[in-house]
């Protein structure tokens, strides 16, 4: 992997860490000062809505700027906004509930939109910075970094807030984001999209690829089915399962989450080591990963032994990584590079929408029939998704349409 890829990977991982710390801190601060779970939870909602808006409007920015400029400029906006709110908090020194809540919501609307744009642009840049035969390996490295940052941010974040205080953690988040952007500023990213090409593409061209290209349409159908079931890992559903089915305390909620992240990191490492074999067998790997995850999900739903559940969740990690890395690599090899930015913008918007729907869907099932039924129904949904994967074999003799770029 070249220095441009490594710099982008570090930048992305650091930005994800800063983003998780930023969000956690504002949620904790609003809950602490207001005592309202609804007000605190609303921060995640407005941030998700901002991310949805970023996915819908990103093609407009691609008409004005190249992909790397979108990344740099929206990351710069994120830094400026973060620093401005930290300074305002320090200067104002006001503890009133309305003031803190307004600050929390406005800052997360802006940072959520900026982060959404930067994140989608980063995803579009990765395949342009590595050789075609290294796509699967680079995707596994990116996933490993993302999972590690998620595990670190959501487990250590609470401790940092308690020990350092909300203001200091917000400051730390801003510093991390600034250092990551500073590193990227000294690493040249190759031009990745022709301005004339971008201007010819419509705002909805990414959505057209998702639903008109027969291969990508099948993958999108799998994403939609799985996306509606992804609410199984929402904190409330997991906690309910721990209490209702495993008959354990809240501590096991943390153990289950940690096991899943650890399994995902381990799985990404295994995929990285076997990336060449996986890239040569993308469709079988995608289907095997989906089927394995489906079987593990059914096993998890029906187990009542806590330690067995912990092991099952850990094993889900490698299955998830095999499926996700194979799927992403398949898309990268079957969609032209100049079409990928708008495609990832559409995928980002669709993913955010599905995430919101999955929260409502799984929450409704949990209220009606209990947490165990949530995982059983999710298992059936993943089974249907796996079946769709077999249809991709009809396109097995596809022609790769990606273009080669100089890797720095």
Q: Specify the pTM.
A: 0.87
pLDDT bracket for residue 319 (50, 70, 90): very high
Q: Are residues 119 and 29 in the same domain?
A: yes
**400 part of a folded domain:** no
User: What is the enclosing helix (H) or strand (E) of 92?
Assistant: helix 67-92
Q: Which two tokens stand for residue 317?
A: 């990690």
Q: Are residues 215 and 102 in the same domain?
A: no
Answer yes or no: is pLDDT of 277 > 70: yes
Whether the CB-CB separation of 257 and 247 falls below 8 Å is answered with no
In the listed set 130, 151, 185, which residue is the last one of a domain according to the structure? 185
Q: Is residue 187 classed as helix, strand or coil in its secondary structure? A: coil
Report how far residue 36's alpha carbon sits from residue 357's, in angstroms, rounded to the nearest whole number: 23
Q: Are residues 277 and 153 in the same domain?
A: no
Q: Are residues 254 and 380 in the same domain?
A: yes
Report how far residue 370's alpha carbon sits from residue 375's, in angstroms, rounded to the nearest whole number: 10
Q: What is the pLDDT of residues 72-121, one digit of tens each?
A: 999 999 999 999 888 887 776 666 778 888 889 999 999 999 999 999 99
Angle between helices 3-34 and 166-185 (to 10 degrees): 160
**406 part of a folded domain:** no
Report how far residue 280's alpha carbon sits from residue 50's, in angstroms, rounded to the nearest whole number: 38
Q: Are residues 250 and 137 in the same domain?
A: no
Q: What is the pLDDT of residue 403?
A: 44
3-state helix, strand, coil in the chain (%, to 5): 85, 0, 15
Q: What is the pLDDT of residue 402?
A: 43
Q: What is the pLDDT of residues 171-226, one digit of tens each?
A: 999 999 999 888 887 777 665 555 455 556 677 788 999 998 899 999 999 999 99
Q: Which CATH number is 85's domain given?
A: 1.20.1250.20
**191 part of a folded domain:** no
Q: What is the pLDDT of residues 360-406, one digit of tens each?
A: 888 889 889 988 999 999 999 999 999 998 888 876 644 444 444 44
**198 part of a folded domain:** no
Cα atoms found within 13 Å of the Cα of residue 238, Cβ hemisphere only: 21
| Mean model confidence pLDDT for the chain | 86
Q: Which two tokens stand for residue 145?
A: 């970094």
Which ranges in 335-393 belong to alpha helices (H)? Answer: 340-369, 371-390
Q: What is the pLDDT of residue 93?
A: 61
Whether the CB-CB separation of 154 and 221 falls below 8 Å is answered with no
- Which is more confident, 157 or 141? 141
Q: Which two tokens stand for residue 17?
A: 């860490």
Answer yes or no: is pLDDT of 258 > 60: yes
Q: Is residue 52 classed as helix, strand or coil in its secondary structure? A: helix
Q: Are residues 265 and 343 in the same domain?
A: yes
Q: Are residues 61 and 143 in the same domain?
A: yes
Q: Are residues 168 and 250 in the same domain?
A: no
Q: Are residues 79 and 225 in the same domain?
A: no
Angle between helices 37-64 and 340-369 (to 10 degrees): 160
Any idea what the Cα angle at residue 314 is, between residues 310 and 319, rounded to 5°? 140
Report how far residue 161's alpha carbon sits from residue 157's, in angstroms, rounded to the nearest whole number: 6
Q: Are residues 159 and 265 in the same domain?
A: no
Host domain of residue 350:
205-394
**341 part of a folded domain:** yes
User: Cα–Cα distances in Å, from 338 out to 62, 113, 243, 255?
Assistant: 11, 23, 49, 43
Which range, of 141-155, 305-319, 340-354, 391-405, averages the lowest pLDDT?
A: 391-405
Q: Are residues 351 and 217 in the same domain?
A: yes
- Tokens 């929402």, located at residue: 234
Angle between helices 251-273 and 306-334 (to 10 degrees): 40
Q: What is the pLDDT of residue 200?
A: 62
Q: Which two tokens stand for residue 207?
A: 């959505």
Q: Are residues 341 and 226 in the same domain?
A: yes
**399 part of a folded domain:** no
Q: Is residue 238 left, alpha or beta, with left meaning phi > 0 and alpha meaning psi from -120 to 50?
A: alpha
Any idea what the Cα angle at residue 47 is, between residues 385 and 263, rounded to 5°? 45
Burial state string for 14-29 with b = 16 or more CB within 10 A and e = fewer than 16: bbbbbbbbbbbbbbbb
């Amino acid at each position: 992997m070249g220095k441009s890829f490594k710099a982008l990977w570090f930048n992305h991982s650091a930005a994800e860490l800063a983003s998780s710390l930023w969000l956690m801190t504002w949620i904790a601060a609003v809950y602490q000062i207001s005592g309202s779970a609804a007000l605190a939870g609303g921060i995640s909602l407005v941030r998700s809505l901002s991310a949805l808006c970023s996915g819908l409007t990103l093609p407009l920015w691609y008409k004005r700027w190249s992909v790397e400029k979108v990344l740099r400029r929206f990351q710069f906006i994120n830094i400026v906004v973060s620093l401005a709110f930290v300074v305002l908090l320090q200067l104002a020194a006001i503890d009133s509930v309305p003031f803190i809540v307004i600050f929390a919501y406005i800052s997360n609307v802006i940072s959520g939109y900026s982060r959404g744009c930067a994140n989608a642009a980063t995803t579009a840049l990765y395949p342009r910075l590595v050789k075609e035969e290294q796509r699967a390996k680079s995707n596994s490295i990116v996933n490993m970094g993302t999972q590690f940052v998620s595990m670190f941010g959501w487990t250590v974040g609470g401790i940092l807030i308690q020990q350092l205080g909300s203001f200091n953690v917000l400051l730390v988040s801003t510093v991390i984001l600034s250092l990551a952007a500073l590193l990227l500023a000294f690493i040249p990213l190759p031009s990745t999209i022709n301005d004339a090409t971008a201007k010819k593409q419509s705002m909805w061209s990414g959505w057209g690829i998702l639903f008109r290209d027969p291969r990508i349409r099948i993958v999108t159908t799998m994403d939609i089915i799985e996306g509606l079931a992804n609410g199984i890992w929402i904190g409330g559903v997991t906690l309910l399962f721990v209490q209702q089915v495993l008959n354990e305390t809240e501590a096991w909620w943390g153990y289950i989450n940690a096991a899943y992240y650890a399994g995902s990191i381990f799985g990404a490492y295994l995929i990285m080591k076997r990336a060449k074999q996986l890239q040569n067998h993308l469709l079988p790997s995608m289907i095997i990963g989906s089927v394995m995850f489906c079987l593990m999900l059914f096993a998890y739903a029906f187990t009542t032994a806590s330690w067995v559940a912990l092991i099952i969740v850990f094993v889900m990690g490698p299955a998830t990584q095999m499926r996700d890395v194979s799927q992403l690599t398949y898309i990268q090899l079957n969609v032209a590079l100049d079409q990928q930015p708008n495609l990832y913008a559409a995928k980002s918007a669709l993913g955010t929408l599905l995430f919101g729907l999955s929260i409502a869907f799984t929450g409704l099932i949990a209220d009606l029939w209990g947490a165990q039924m949530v995982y059983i129904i999710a298992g059936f949904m993943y089974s249907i998704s796996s079946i769709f994967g077999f249809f991709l074999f009809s396109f097995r003799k596809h022609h790769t349409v990606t273009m080669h770029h100089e890797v720095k």
